[in-house]
Each structure stands twice: as structure tokens, then as C-alpha cells.
């Protein structure tokens, strides 16, 4: 197993109703999260975001249509003690680039790395997400229901 780079992406997927897709980790059933993944050598953060969404959900979003939005926000957090062995010796922190994308809840989700998924309201997702950085990203970058905004439109 090669060691991970301490630089990753977090991609918050949400619907027009502002429901958030959370994935249940297969190595910790209490750990619910948005799409995440390590930036590989030679990849840009946005390339990693598209790759990880496809790998973890089966959704092939369009780079040309800019389906994934760069939130221009980077979290730095202390790596969980149980996961330090995955990183080079002495690594303590990870830098996490935040992205988001609006998708339809009707899209078929194909899990490859997780046990389960749930669509939750924004408030429920904030409550359920395991990591603080994920909760903050949901709170900050998922808009209030877009349906309510469009009701008054012609």
C-alpha cells in the first residue's frame, strides 16, 4: 500500500431541494461523509473532485459544463489517530479543498467504497456528518432550498 498525500478534496453533493447526499464509510459505520479523496500526484484538486465523485457514487459529472464548483475554501485538520499509518511518518495535518455540485436526487447512486447512502435535509446532514470540516462545508456552501427561490420566478 502506498502512503497517502496529506492533501484531499471534499465534494458536497446536494439537490435542488437542498438535500445533501451523505455516504456511510465501510470502515466505521458511525462515520457519514460527503465524497472525499486524496489528490494523486499530477492531479489538480478539481480533477480529483470529478474522479472521486465518479469512483464513489458512479456519477459522471461534466468537466466541460462545470458541474462541480470550486468553493475556493481549504480546510486544514488534524488527521484522525487511527489513520496516521496511511500517511508519511510525522504527518499530522491534511489540507482539504472544498467543492460542491447540485445533482438530481433521482440519479442512480452506485456505491463502491461505502456501505450506504442517504439524502438528508441540510439540517439533518449537518447533524449527521462526522467531521467538523464536512459540517461547516454543508452549512456554508449548500444553499437554502432552491425550489423556494424558483417559486416566484415566471
Q: 43-70: per-residue pLDDT in tens?
A: 999 999 999 999 999 999 998 888 999 9
What's the CATH class of domain 7-150? alpha beta
Characterize 91-128 residue by residue with b for buried, 16 or more Cβ atoms within 10 angstroms of its Cβ, and e for exposed: eeebebbbbbbbbeeeeebeeeebeebebbebeebbeb
Using the predicted structure, report yes or no on whether residue 42 has a pLDDT greater than 80: yes
Using the predicted structure, report yes or no on whether residue 140 has a pLDDT greater than 50: yes
Query: CA nearest 74: which of 7, 131, 12?
Result: 7
The residue ranges of every structural domain in the chain are 7-150
Structure confidence at residue 150 as a pLDDT band (50, 70, 90): very low
Amino acid at each position: 500500500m502506498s502512503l497517502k498525500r496529506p492533501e484531499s478534496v471534499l465534494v458536497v453533493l446536494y439537490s435542488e431541494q437542498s438535500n445533501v447526499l451523505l455516504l456511510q464509510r465501510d470502515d466505521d459505520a458511525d462515520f457519514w461523509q460527503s465524497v472525499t479523496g486524496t489528490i494523486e500526484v499530477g492531479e489538480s484538486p478539481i480533477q480529483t473532485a470529478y474522479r472521486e465523485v465518479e469512483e464513489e457514487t458512479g456519477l459522471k459529472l461534466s468537466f466541460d459544463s462545470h458541474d462541480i464548483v470550486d468553493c475556493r475554501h481549504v480546510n486544514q485538520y488534524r488527521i484522525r489517530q487511527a489513520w496516521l499509518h496511511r500517511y508519511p511518518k510525522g504527518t499530522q495535518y491534511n489540507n482539504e479543498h472544498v467543492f460542491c455540485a447540485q445533482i438530481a436526487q433521482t440519479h442512480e447512486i452506485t456505491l463502491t467504497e461505502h456501505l450506504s447512502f442517504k439524502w438528508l435535509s441540510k439540517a439533518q446532514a449537518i447533524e449527521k456528518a462526522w467531521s467538523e470540516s464536512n459540517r461547516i462545508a454543508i452549512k456554508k456552501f449548500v444553499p437554502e432550498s432552491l425550489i423556494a427561490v424558483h417559486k416566484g420566478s415566471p
